Amino acid sequence: MDKNLFEKLTKSIEQGLAIHKGETKPSRVFNSEDVDIKKIRTKMKLSQDKFANAIGVSVGTLRGWEQHRRTPAGPAKALLRVFEKKPLAVIEALHINTK
């Protein structure tokens, strides 16, 4: 292994341990609340097929999210947050048929 890379990895491990022990504060913190996707979908009375199609993901992906085997990220997570807070806005914007 490259000596420089090894030194960087060692330093990173030492920093991580110091953060874990509370000796050092992390340079940044990410707070990520989970989105209850099944709750959003059932509140809107949409089947998994319709909901997945409406937000542009496969039914398998949606099932993975609902069963907590996978976690949405990036644009999908942002869309789901908006869906959670302003469902009618998303329904209108995406022309989702809820019937």
Instruction: Indicate whether this model's pTM tops 0.85.
Output: no
Q: Express each pLDDT in 6-53 by its tens digit.
A: 999 999 999 999 999 999 998 887 666 788 999 999 988 899 999 999
Contacts 24+ apart (CB under 8 A), 34-37: 34/71, 35/72, 35/77, 35/80, 35/81, 35/84, 36/84, 37/62, 37/65, 37/66, 37/72, 37/80
- pLDDT tens-digit readout, 64-99: 999 989 989 889 999 999 988 998 898 889 888 877
Domain boundaries, the chain: 1-30, 37-94
Q: What percent of the chain has pLDDT over 90?
A: 57
Candidate CATH numbers 3.40.50.2000, 1.10.260.40, 1.10.150.120, 2.30.30.40; the one for domain 37-94: 1.10.260.40
